[in-house]
Chain A
């Protein structure tokens, strides 16, 4: 029978690793979410613009990120891209511990692709006359997007965006593959050293559940508020 002893790993360096891992995961999530969200606004606007070249470029961006596994995207950034950079940059990257930067980059681009799709369906749910009216009032395409279309599209897109945020939160665990010491990495490390497999994974799982349920709960609250408003 298993004998559980959580206190064995909730002390000393094991505890330090787990706390550092939790902090890394949250930092990775926050940074990638912010960059990803801002980028997704640009991509969604580009995709809904009439310009062929912009549309094609953003469609290619979204297509790449949706059809290639996240792990492979990470590898491309971490192992592949530095090779294309000038020698001096490579040295600087190696000197500054680039794992976190590349993980953030890869995760935020991935999130941007998925979020822009949600925004796009939000934009498509609005009647096209909205854009026409805004343009007729003298707004440029960019400011019509910024002031009229995107604020409304955002409201519609909140539930799927929350879902995407959950996906992003979970995919931060991929960063362990390139050596970012986030929560999954930390739990694996603790497991390796202490042989307390169940305890190490249970603590990491509790951590992921806490934040995943927070994000899911946010989604529930939003949907309920929206439907309550609709019923009035």
Chain B
């Protein structure tokens, strides 16, 4: 225990922000930045993927479904390696490891969050869509005004869950030497050499606290949304 406090005292700042402000941002701050960037970039794309996956147009549905399955069939590490190789070809310039990891995480998350969006869209009762169509809205209008607002609200807990997954997956940046939390711990361990258990225990506890507290938020949110929907359901049927 004394060892752990000593490590936290000596290296706590390094774990939190890396070499910042003398050097690049790293540690926990970078981990969270990577996860937030991954979420923000993959979310709009995931909405498109979700819409495509519920589309009745085969020309849209088939290629997107194939892509989703292809991504789901690969380990994240493999996608990171692909990104390392493909992204510079696409952009024409060499890119940093941070960009590589964000690209890889966005691609990976796309497949999973796309399924979350799909489930959200499919949970909206068909009657609503028919009613909206009969009121004269076109397919896109129904999506934008009726289906997505409700679906996204119900999906909030699942999106938070995906964010937790993203945080955990950022640890893979370690493999290509992105300066995030796991890599910082690895560096500290390489300096100390004699206390790997303590260093990695600190690392594990840090991840645990973040993901666990987000998980708590998630289940609270879930309950709240559930309660609110039930309430509305009751209000909508006064005859009972």
Closest chain-A Cβ to B31's Cβ sits at a distance in Å of 10
Q: Is the interface of B mostly helix, strand, loop or mixed?
A: helix
Pairwise interchain contact B73-A208, C-beta atoms closer than 8 A: yes
| Contact for A170 among B75, B82, B194, CB less than 8 A | B75
Question: Contacts A72-B204, A209-B73 known; A201 to B211 CB distance under 8 Å?
Answer: no
What residue of chain A has the Cβ atom nearest to residue B203's Cβ? A72
| A212-232 to B contact mask, C-beta < 8 Å, 1/0 | 110010000000000000000
Is A160 an interface residue, CB under 8 A from the partner? no
Q: Tell me how far the C-beta of B10 lies from the nearest C-beta in chain A, rounded to whole angstroms.
A: 18
Q: Does A69 contact B (CB under 8 A)?
A: yes
Contact of B169 with A by CB under 8 A: yes
A84 at the interface (CB under 8 A from B): yes
| Inter-subunit contact A71/B85 (CB<8 Å) | no
Q: Which of B16-24, B52-60, B171-179 contacts A (4 or more CB under 8 A)?
A: B171-179
Residues of A within 8 Å of B212, CB to CB, are 63, 67
The size of the chain B interface, using a CB distance under 8 A, is 37
Q: Are B85 and A80 in contact (CB-based, < 8 A)?
A: no
* Cβ-defined contact, B168 with A69, below 8 A: yes
B171 in contact with A69 (CB, 8 Å): yes
Q: Does B67 touch A at the CB level, under 8 Å?
A: no
Contact with B along A176-188 (1 / 0, CB 8 A): 1100000010011
| Residue B149 is within 8 A (CB to CB) of chain A in the complex | no
A176→B75 CA distance, assembly (Å): 12
Task: Provide the residues of chain A in CB contact with B189, threshold 8 Å.
Answer: 79
Q: Which of A67, A201, A209 contacts B70 (CB 8 A)?
A: A209
Minimum Cβ distance to chain A for residue B155 (Å): 19
Asked if B123 is an interface residue, CB under 8 A from chain A, the answer is: no
Whether A213 contacts B69 in the complex (CB less than 8 A), given A171-B75, A174-B77, A188-B81, comes out as: yes
Q: How large is the interface on A (under 10, 10 to 19, 20 to 34, 35 or more residues)?
A: 35 or more
Judging by beta carbons under 8 Å apart, are B74 and A208 in contact? yes
B residues in contact with A191, CB < 8 Å: 81
Instruction: Output the residue of B69, B77, B196 with the most chain A CB within 10 A.
Output: B77
Q: Looking across the interface, which residue of chain A has its beta carbon closest to that of B214?
A: A67
Interface residues of A in 55-76 (CB under 8 A from B): 63-64, 66-73, 75-76
Residues in A with CB closer than 8 Å to B42 are none
Residue B76 interfacial (CB < 8 Å): yes
Cβ of A221 to closest chain B Cβ, rounded Å: 16
Residues of chain A within 8 A (CB-CB) of B200 are 72, 75-76, 79-80
Report yes or no: B204 in contact with A173, Cβ–Cβ below 8 A: no
CB closest chain-B residue, reference A172: B75
**A99–B215 alpha-carbon span in the complex (Å):** 32
**Contact between chains at B196 and A79 (CB < 8 Å):** yes
Q: Which residues of chain A have C-beta atoms less than 8 A from B73's C-beta?
A: 208-209, 212-213, 216
Q: A198 in the interface, Cβ–Cβ < 8 Å?
A: yes
Q: Which one, B164, B172, B197, contacts A71 given CB within 8 A? A: B172
A173 near B70 (CB under 8 angstroms)?
no
Contact between B78 and A177, CB atoms less than 8 A apart: no
Closest chain A residue, CB of each to CB of B169: A69
Tell whether, in the assembled complex, residue B171 and residue A197 are in contact, meaning their CB atoms are under 8 Å apart.
no
A174 to B69, CA, bound (A): 21
Whether B78 and A205, one on each chain, are in contact in the complex, defined by CB atoms closer than 8 angstroms, is yes
How far in angstroms is the closest Cβ of chain A from B1?
A: 14
Within 149-200 of B, Cβ neighbours of A (below 8 Å) are at: 164, 167-169, 171-172, 174-175, 182, 186, 189, 194-197, 199-200
14 A-B residue pairs with Cβ-Cβ distance under 8 Å, sorted by A, are A64-B204, A67-B207, A68-B204, A72-B203, A72-B204, A76-B197, A83-B195, A83-B196, A170-B74, A176-B77, A187-B78, A201-B82, A209-B73, A213-B73
Residues of B within 8 A of A (CB): 69-70, 72-78, 81-82, 85, 164, 167-169, 171-172, 174-175, 182, 186, 189, 194-197, 199-201, 203-204, 207-208, 211-212, 215
Using a CB–CB cutoff of 8 Å, the interface residues on chain A facing chain B are: 63-64, 66-73, 75-76, 79-81, 83-84, 166, 170-174, 176-177, 184, 187-188, 191, 197-198, 201, 204-205, 208-209, 212-213, 216
Closest 9 pairs (CB-CB, A-B): A212-B73, A173-B75, A80-B197, A67-B211, A69-B171, A79-B196, A69-B168, A170-B75, A173-B77
